[in-house]
Amino acid sequence: MTDLTKLSAAALADKLTAGEISSVEATRAHLDRIAAVDGDVHAFLHVSDHALEVAAGIDRRRAAGEALGPVAGVPLAIKDVLVTTDMPSTSGSKILEGYMSPYDATVVARSRAAGLVPLGKTNMDEFAMGSSTEHSAYGPTRNPWDLDRIPGGSGGGSAAAVAAFEAPLALGSDTGGSIRQPAHVTGTVGLKPTYGGVSRYGAIALASSLDQVGPVTRTVLDAGLLHDVIGGHDPHDSTSLSDAWPSFAEAAREGARGDVLKGLKVGVIKELPDAGFQPGVSASFRSALAAMEAQGAEIVEISAPHFEYGVAAYYLILPAEASSNLAKFDSVRFGLRVDVPGGTVEDVMARTRDVGFGDEVKRRIILGTYALSAGYYDAYYGSAQKVRTLIQQDFDSAFASVDVIATPSAPTTAFRLGEKIDDPMQMYLNDVTTIPANLAGVPGISIPSGLADEDGLPVGIQFLAPAREDARLYRVGAALEALLVDSWGASLLERAPQLGDSTQGGAL
């Protein structure tokens, strides 16, 4: 029998609809896979104890002839930043250890309504601050390609779960790259939607003007299928767009079969310094562009002079918003409370926040509080907001002459655990290509472009499109994916070391 964990969500959905397999079988296969490999990978913080029951319910409804959605019965992993009523939601922090939410995030509620089967909650950097999951209060996730390396962050758990075939679909959140950078280092697909395209209701806020929830998958079509489930207007989110969105799965299907690359204008940013990129990353990027060019795409050099200031602006705006959002973790309303005998309420709050927050969270709260303080507000926060506007203007003028912008998704392949943990600046520089999309609110996708020559690790190519043009990313992403997978002969993940296969020896 086919190994159900190796199938895409689209293929699983076809088999479920045709009655060839049950959701219980699909779910059990993934739970078994989690049991076999997650001791090594640590993608999950919590595995659901009632996933099989949920799956059985879907099977019963299907047997009764109920018309179910296109992905009903397919298992799903959920980043722990998203609140769930039936599993703890910690956002990777000790301050929320064991926290049970009284409501489901909208994206979770929509996933359940579509018949997706939640497998569990995935690991992440604490409150989504980081690029490696090493800032999780519950220990890091490991990259399935090499267990000594990071799976990216903050959503390393979701990306690793998908890359290690523990789940066909996962939900992530992207404030500065936390969906796309993990996709880049794990050979998977991740898309950050247009700001306002997917509800933030029930996504534990990091920086509200930047946060977006999105799909983490192994194929572009699967990302479209999940995006179709979670996207669209939500009255619970005041920044939710009221647009009627096209089907993203349909856009992906169109891309895979059509000739969307012919005549496509692909912008390449001339100011993006080649120097900061690992040679294998640049080489993979250039060969993906050449493959597109061979299909009739036109590569156009564009100028985005303020891109390079994105990291500096982001690391003022994000801490400012985060310091405000995290003020609610005060020992009174949520999660942890550390008593101070004989102390005042302020003593209890201070002690709880001292014990409950990790170093990176404290660093950003201090930075953000400082940037927002009277006397410094204009110099830091105000200036950063001006840079944000300049970056938005860069995008506007670029998109006047190109259809999409392409960049490598991140500067390097997966680095080793421990390599950058003590150097916040090095960690922040990972986000150089992903941050501008969040600052401008435009959508971005990362798809695998190949393996770097020097270390054999996956590399991703990022495409950016104007706001509301998410469907364009699915078309272009699926077109390039089809081309590359064809030339490789199989999906990139087929070349990853086979975890949990004892014949391979060692941990891999």
Q: Annotated catalytic sites, by residue?
A: 79, 154, 178
CA 392, distance to chain mean position in Å, is: 22
What mask, x for binding ligand GLN by CB under 6 A, covers residues 276 to 315? ----------------------------------------
CA 54, distance to chain mean position in Å, is: 25
Q: Which of 118, 168, 177, 232 binds ligand GLN (CB under 6 A)?
A: 177
Q: Which of 104, 166, 174, 403 binds ligand GLN (CB under 6 A)?
A: 174
DSSP state of 504: G
Collapsing DSSP to helix, strand or coil, 144 comes out as coil
Q: Which of 37, 318, 442, 478 binds ligand GLN (CB under 6 A)?
A: 318
Helix (H) or strand (E) holding 374, with range, is none
CB 279 within 8 A of CB 454: yes
What mask, x for binding ligand GLN by CB under 6 A, covers residues 67 to 106? ----------------------------------------
Peptide bond into 154 cis (omega under 30): yes
Q: Which of 10, 31, 109, 129 binds ligand GLN (CB under 6 A)?
A: 129
Least distance in angstroms from the C-beta of 180 to ligand GLN: 8
Q: Compute the distance between CA of residue 293 and CA of residue 262 in angstroms, rounded to an integer.
A: 8
According to DSSP, the residues that pair with 215 across neighbouring strands are 171
According to DSSP, the residues that pair with 189 across neighbouring strands are 217
Candidate segments 128-136, 233-241, 243-251, 398-406, binder of ligand GLN by CB under 6 A: 128-136
Question: Restricting to residues 138-167, which ones interact with ligand GLN according to CB under 6 A?
Answer: 154
Candidate segments 34-42, 96-104, 173-181, 413-421, binder of ligand GLN by CB under 6 A: 173-181
Residue 483 identity: L
Q: Does the footprint of ligand GLN cover residue 228 (CB under 6 A)?
A: no
Binding residues for ligand GLN, rule CB under 6 A, total 13
Q: Compute the distance between CA of residue 470 and CA of residue 54 in angstroms, rounded to an integer.
A: 31
Sequence-distant (≥ 6) Cβ neighbours of residue 304 within 8 angstroms: 269, 271, 272, 391, 394, 395, 398, 405, 436
Q: Compute the distance between CA of residue 303 and CA of residue 149 in angstroms, rounded to an integer.
A: 34
Q: Does the footprint of ligand GLN cover residue 361 (CB under 6 A)?
A: no
Q: Does the footprint of ligand GLN cover residue 126 (CB under 6 A)?
A: no
Report which of 306, 299, 300 is spatially closest to residue 271, judged by C-alpha positions: 306
Q: Does the footprint of ligand GLN cover residue 115 (CB under 6 A)?
A: no
Q: State how beta strands 44-47 and 117-122 pair.
A: antiparallel
Q: Does the footprint of ligand GLN cover residue 206 (CB under 6 A)?
A: yes
Q: Does the footprint of ligand GLN cover residue 131 (CB under 6 A)?
A: yes
Return residues touching ligand GLN (CB under 6 A).
Answer: 128-131, 154, 174-178, 206, 318, 431
